Structure 1
């Protein structure tokens, strides 16, 4: 049973089978959110998502970056990412129309950021998540 069903902008429905959320800056003990820190965080996400969900392709949705009017420290201006990192394992019908719908399904692991810890559902998911090009990114697997 899926946690939620998300309807992509293409009209395809995808089932969210597992979701992991974490605080974007939960481990930040000192310093401040800045481009070098954010770039390092973002760069490590595909690798950790692939480790968490082996065998599925991983797609990272680039997060929006905000630049509040705050004092720039030694690492440059303050740069803030959305508060929650999400890693979701999604499944849907096979991408390849030649595959038997009963014997095949497609899957994709998606990494995205959102402002609050909520489960995406239906058409209320983050716009960037709904815009994922499933047919290009997902892979089919035999059940």
Structure 2
């Protein structure tokens, strides 16, 4: 189990993690602004995770003009500390583009990108 403490102090747990190649399905042509925008628009929660609230961290505008970072990451996080006390917990799927994993651990990859996420603004409450 991977636990991460966000900058806000909230502790979240990783329930799922997916790694893929940004241009893995691009069979011909060269990345450009239109291709990159289509790739961004198609990002969603993996179907095996069910219906979840998703936050796509947008790449830099300059990356849209040329090449997006080569890897795409998706992480399903949950917290037993709900945003609204009526519920039992909260969760969020976060999607972002970044460099290839290299020698980094899964925890390091996730933690680097999600620590600054405003959980209270982006997550969704759930009831067990």
TM-score over 0.5 (shorter chain)? yes
For residues 75-114 of structure 1, the aligned pairs below 5 Å read 79-96=66-83, 98-99=85-86, 104-114=88-98
> 1:65·1:81 contact (CA, 8 Å) conserved in 2?
no
SS at match of 1:126: helix
Deviation, structure 1 residue 63: 1.6
Q: CA shift at 1:58, angstroms?
A: 0.9
Aligned length: 126
TM-score by length of 2: 0.81
Contact 1:5 1:122 in 2 (8 A): no
Q: CA deviation at 1:8?
A: 1.5
Structure with the larger helix share: 2
What are structure 1's unaligned runs of at least 5 residues?
Answer: 68-76
Stretch deviating more after TM superposition (88-97 or 15-24): 88-97
User: Is the 2:84–2:125 contact (alpha carbons within 8 Å) kept by the matching residues of 1?
Assistant: no
RMSD, matched Cα: 2.6
What is residue 142 of structure 1 aligned with on the other side?
127
Task: Name the residue aligned to 1:73.
Answer: none
TM-score calculated relative to the size of structure 1 = 0.73
Q: Which runs of 5+ in 2 are unaligned?
A: none
Structure-1 residue corresponding to 2:54? 58
